[in-house]
Chain A
Amino acid sequence: MSIFRKLAFWRQTDFEAGLSEEMRFHQECRIDELVANGLSPAEAADQARRELGSPLRLAERSRDEWTFRWLEDLLTDLRYAVRALARDRAFTVTALASLALGIGCNTTIFSVTKELLLSRPSVNSPETLVRVLPGGNSHLEAPNFRFLAENNLLPHGLVGTREDSEVNWRHDGESSRVMSTRVTGNFFSVTGVPLAAGRGIAPGETHTAVLMHHFWQTRLAGDPHVLGRTLILDGRPHTVVGILPADHHTLFGFGLAPAFYLPADAGTRLALYTRIPAGEAMPATRERVQSALTRLDQALPLGQFKFSENVRIWPIVGWASLNQNKLRTIGLFFLMLLTVVGLLLLIACTNVANLLLARASVRRQEFAIRASLGASRGRLLRQLLTESLLLAALGAGCGLALNLGLTSLLNRFELNEPVPLRLNIQPDWQLLAYTILLAVASAGMIGLLPAWRATRPSVNEDLKRHTPFNLRNALVVGQLTVSIIVLAAAFLFGRNLVESLAMNPGFDTEQTVWANLRLVPENYGSPEKYAAVTQAALDRLRALPGVAAVSLTDTPFLNDDTTHGGPLRTDLSPDAVVLQRYWTHVGPGYFATMGIPVLAGREFRETDQNGVILNEALARRLFGMASPIGHTLNNQPILGVVRNSKYFSLAEDQRFAAFEPHRRNTGPVLHLMIRAAAPPDMLLRPIQHALLDLDGSAALDVRPMSRAMTLALLPSRAGAAVLGSMGLLGLMLASIGLYGVLTYSVARRLREIGVRIALGASPRQIVRLVAADGFRLVGTGLALGLLAAFFVTKPLAMFLVPGLHPSDPLSFLAVTGVLGVVGLLACFGPTRRALRVDPMQALRQD
C-alpha cells in the first residue's frame, strides 16, 4: 500500500520545493518567537539557523522516508558495475563469452527438445484428444474405421489420419513423390486446426487439398492466388481450399512436415484419435473405447485377433505422450543432452567464478578503502553481487542471441527421407523464462563464492597463508573433472559414429542400388497391369549391362520398418510363440542381390507361391540348434535360413525376422534392389533411363544403398555432432580456466621466484616449481574425472551401437591424452613467464 502512496505523492508534488518551503516556514516562526522573547532579528536568525542544523541533512532524512532507497542503491551499484566491467575489458569479454556459450547451448537444446518432443499439436484443447491403438495396432483398416464411425460408437469425435501417404505430384512435365497426410472428412471440424487462409477439408470431399505453409512457400513460390488452384495428385486434379499457418504442428508431432492434407479415400488405413468429453476420467474413456471395439470384434470378426485386446490409449501432449517404448529412448537421449549442456554451463560458470576470485583479490585494496569509509559488509556484498548479476544478464542476452541464430539455422535443416521432418522453432515465453532462470542460477554460481571471499573481514590474513589447497585450485580441479565427463561422453559418441559408418549392416551397401518407382495409379487401375509393369521393369533392368541381379522388396532396409506380433506356430509344438519380428515380402533372388548369405536351405524362386525364410535369430529361437529346414511355420514350409542383418536401425541387435515371397506386385509403389557388377555410380543413369522409358510419368528415385543410409546414421551423426562440439567447448573452457589459475599463481609468486633466481635457482628448478602446481591440478582432475566418467557414462550404453561399451578403454585413453596435452599447453605460458622473471625487478616491486 505504502508503495502506491509514495508513487502518488511523487506525482502530485514537487517534493524538494515543498520541503524547503516547510523548513523556511519553520525557521521564520522560530525567529518570530525569539524576537518576541527580546532578541534582535539578526541574533534570532542566527540562533534559529543553529537550532535547525544542516538543512541538507534534514532534507535527506525526510526524503529517505519517501524514496526507494534500495532502488537508488541498485542504480548506483549498476552504474558502478558497468564502469568496473568496462575498465577490465579482457576479463569482461572472457566471462561474457563463457556465459554466452554456456547459456546459448543450454537454451538451444531446450528449444530443440521442446519443439521435437513436446510441441503442442495445432488443435483445439489437445489435452482432450487421445490416440487409440485398437488391438495394439497403429492403424485400422478402412472398413473397420467406417463401422466405428457409421455406428457412432465413439460419439465425442472420432478422427482418422494417415500421417505418411505418398502421392505423385505432377508439375511442369515431371512427377515428384511427395508425402501427404490423409484425414477423414470430420478432421478439421473435430480438431479445430487453425488455418492461415481458406478452409479445411469438408466431409464428403474427395479432391481437395489443404497446403502446409512450407510447401506453399518453397514448392509453389508462395503464389498469392493459390486458393482455388489445381494440383495434379496421382493424376487427378485436386483443388487447394486452404493454407495452414507457418507454425502448424501435426497431431503426429516430431516435426513431421507433409506437403499437404488430403481427404482419406475408401482404402486408407487410419490412425485413430478421439475426444474425451469434459469431466471424463481416463478409466472411463478406456472402458468406452473397449466396448466400442468389442462391438467391432463382434460385427467384423478377424479370427484370433481381437481389436478389444491390448488396446492402448495415448495422450497427445506432454511427457505422458512420450511414455512409449520406442519414444522413451529419444526422450532419454534429450535428457542426456540437457544434462551435458548443464555440465557445460557449470564449467563456464566455474571459469567466471575463478576469474572473479582473481579480480576480487586484486580489488581488495578498493574494498578495504570502501570499508574504512563506512561501507558495511552487506553493502559491499551487494555491490559485488550486482556485478555478477549484470554479467549473468549480459551473458544471458548474448546466449539468447546465440540461441536465435542456432535455432534459425536448425529451422533451415530438413530431412526428406524417408519421412519429411522439419523444425519450426520459434522463441516463446518459455524460452525467455528458461533463459532468465539460467541467468539467475549462473549469477548465483559465479557471484556468491567470490563475493563472500572478497568481503571477508580479514582478507589479508587469509591471503598471506599459502596453502596447497585453496578455493581457486579446488574450482579448477572440479572444472577438469566435469570436463572429463563431458569429453568422455563426446569421445564415446565419436567412436559410435566411426563404428556406425564402418559397421557392416549385414547386407552389402557397396554394390547395391535401390530404385524407388512410384507409378501414377490411374494409368494402371487393375492389379494385372501393375504386375505386368513390374515384370517389365525387372526384365529391362536385368538386360542392362553391368547389372548382376535384380529383385523386389516391400520394405527397403534401414529406410522403412514393419513389425508383426501375431502368434507363431511350428510343427514341433502345439503352443504358439508370441514375439515381435520384422516381417516383409521379398522377390526371388533377393538375398543374393543384397549379399546376405543363405546359411541353410535356399532362397525364393520364381515359382514359389508360399513358404517362409527365417533369419538366424528367429531360427535359433524357434528351433534351437536343430535345422528348421523341412519344418513349417504357421503351416508354411520353411525354405531357408539367412544370416542376421540390420533391418531398420543400426542400433538393433539380433532382431528376429521372417520373409515371405513377393508373389506379384499389385500396387503403385515398387522398391527394386539391383546388384551392380560395375561401380554402382556408373549404373544410376542407365537404370533411370530404363525405368523412365517404361513409364515417363512415374516418380523415380535411384541411388546406391551406400547413400540411402541417412536415416540409419542420423542418430549416430547427430549424437557425435552435438556431443563432439560440447566436448570441444568444455575442453576449451576448462583449459582457459587452468591457464588463468596458473598465470595468476605465477603473478602472485613473482617475488618468490625472483628471490629464488637471485639465490641461484636453475631454470630447471623454476620450471619444476611452476609446472608442478599445474601438473598436480591436472593430475587430480584427471583422476577424479576418469573415476566419475566411468560411472556416469554407464547409462549411455543404450545410445551406442551394439559392441561398443561406455567403459571402452580407447575413449578413456584418448580423453587422458587430450587433457594431458591441453594441460601441458596451459602450463607452458605461465612457466615461460616465470622463467623470464628479472630478479632485480621482482625484488624492487613493493
Chain B
Amino acid sequence: MSQPDLLPGTLFLLILRVLDGGPLHGYAIAKRIKECSAELLSVEEGSLYPALNRMLVKGWVTATWGLSETNRKARFYELTAEGRKQLEAESEGFDRMVAAIQLVLKTA
C-alpha cells in the first residue's frame, strides 16, 4: 500500500501534536508520527528539519541540547505556550475542515 501524501500545511500540526506529549528530538518526532499513523505517514528529513527551524523562528518551539536514550548528544524540541495555542487553533481548524470535506463527500 502506497503512502498517502501529507495534506499541505498539516506537517506543523503533526509536529505540534507529537510534541504536546513532551520534549523530543528530531528523529523521535519522525518516528512517533510514523508509529502513530500506523506507518501510513512518513516525514522525510528533507521537510522535517526545515519545518522545525521554521517553528523555532515562529517561536512555537524551543530547542535545547541534551542526551538521548542512547547517550548521544541530541537536540530536543519543546512546545512553548505560543506553540500550544497554535496547536489548539490548528487542530480545531483541521477538524472543521475534515468534517466539511466529509460532508461534501457523503452528500454530494
Contacts and interface: CB of A to CB of B under 8 A. Distances in A.
Interface stretch (B6-14, B66-74, B89-97, B100-108): B66-74
B68 A62 contact: no
Contact of B46 (A18, A61, A65, A66): A61
B11 to A, nearest CB: 13
Interface residues of B, number: 22
A interface: dominant SS: helix
Contact of B25 (A6, A25, A52, A65): A25
B88 interface: no
B84 interface: no
B56 A9 contact: yes
B63 to A, nearest CB: 9
Contacts of A53: 44-46
Contacts of A25: 25-27, 68, 72-75
Contact of B53 (A1, A26, A29, A62): A62
A62 B50 contact: yes
Given A2-B59, A51-B45, A65 B54 contact: yes
Contact of B45 (A2, A21, A28, A52): A52
Given A52-B45, A62-B49, A22 B56 contact: no
B73 A58 contact: no
Interface in B31-69: 44-46, 49-50, 52-54, 56-59, 65, 68
A2 B58 contact: yes
A713 to B, nearest CB: 69
B46 A58 contact: yes
Contacts of A30: 27
Contact of A61 (B25, B50, B65, B73): B50
Interface in A9-56: 9, 18-19, 21-23, 25-26, 28-30, 32, 51-53
Nearest to B70: A32
Given A21-B73, A52-B45, A58-B45, A5 B50 contact: no
Residue in B45, B56, B68 whose Cβ sees the most chain A Cβ within 10 Å = B45
Contacts of B56: 5, 9, 65
B69 to A, nearest CB: 10
Given A5-B59, A62-B53, A66-B53, A22 B46 contact: no
Nearest to B51: A65
Contacts of A6: 57
Contacts of A326: none
A166 to B, nearest CB: 74
Contacts of B46: 53, 57-58, 61
A287 interface: no
A156 to B, nearest CB: 56
A606 interface: no
B27 A26 contact: yes
Interface in A580-605: none
A65 B51 CA distance: 9
A5 B57 contact: yes
A461 interface: no
Contacts of B25: 25
Contacts of A65: 50, 53-54, 56-57
Contacts of A58: 45-46, 49-50
A64 interface: yes
Residue in A23, A58, A64 whose Cβ sees the most chain B Cβ within 10 Å = A58
B27 A64 contact: no
A28 B59 CA distance: 28
Contacts of B52: 62
Nearest to A28: B72
Nearest to A60: B50
B57 A66 contact: yes
A402 B20 CA distance: 64
Interface string B70-82: 1011110000000
Interface in A47-93: 51-53, 57-58, 61-62, 64-66
A2 B57 contact: yes
Contacts of B75: 18, 21-22, 25
A684 B54 CA distance: 89
B59 A1 contact: yes
Contacts of A62: 49-50, 52-53
Nearest to A30: B27
Contacts of B72: 25, 28
Nearest to B65: A18
Nearest to A51: B45
B79 to A, nearest CB: 16
Nearest to B48: A26
Nearest to B25: A25
A762 to B, nearest CB: 71
B45 A29 contact: no
Contacts of B27: 25-26, 29-30
A26 B49 CA distance: 10
Contacts of B59: 1-2, 5
A8 to B, nearest CB: 11
A5 B80 CA distance: 14
B57 to A, nearest CB: 5
Contacts of A28: 72
Residue in A2, A18, A65 whose Cβ sees the most chain B Cβ within 10 Å = A65
B45 A26 contact: yes
A25 B74 CA distance: 6
Contacts of B65: 18
Contacts of B73: 21, 25
B65 to A, nearest CB: 8
Nearest to A57: B46
Contacts of A29: 27, 68, 70
Interface string A408-445: 00000000000000000000000000000000000000
A28 B27 CA distance: 10
Interface string A645-664: 00000000000000000000
A18 B52 CA distance: 13
Nearest to A55: B45
Nearest to A3: B57
A803 B49 CA distance: 83
Nearest to A6: B57
Residue in B26, B50, B52, B73 whose Cβ sees the most chain A Cβ within 10 Å = B50
A2 B70 CA distance: 34
Contacts of B44: 53
A837 B50 CA distance: 61
A9 B75 CA distance: 15
A663 B75 CA distance: 105
Contacts of A51: 45
Nearest to A18: B75
A552 to B, nearest CB: 88
A13 to B, nearest CB: 9
A2 B54 CA distance: 10
Residue in B52, B53, B58, B73 whose Cβ sees the most chain A Cβ within 10 Å = B53
Residue in A19, A28, A51, A62 whose Cβ sees the most chain B Cβ within 10 Å = A62
15 contacts: A2-B58, A9-B56, A21-B73, A21-B75, A22-B74, A23-B45, A23-B49, A25-B27, A25-B72, A30-B27, A51-B45, A57-B46, A61-B46, A65-B54, A65-B56
Given A22-B75, A51-B45, A52-B45, 14 more contacts: A9-B57, A21-B73, A25-B73, A25-B75, A26-B45, A32-B70, A53-B46, A58-B45, A61-B49, A62-B50, A62-B52, A62-B53, A65-B50, A65-B57
**6 interchain residue pairs of minimum CB distance:** A65-B53, A29-B27, A61-B50, A62-B53, A65-B54, A62-B49
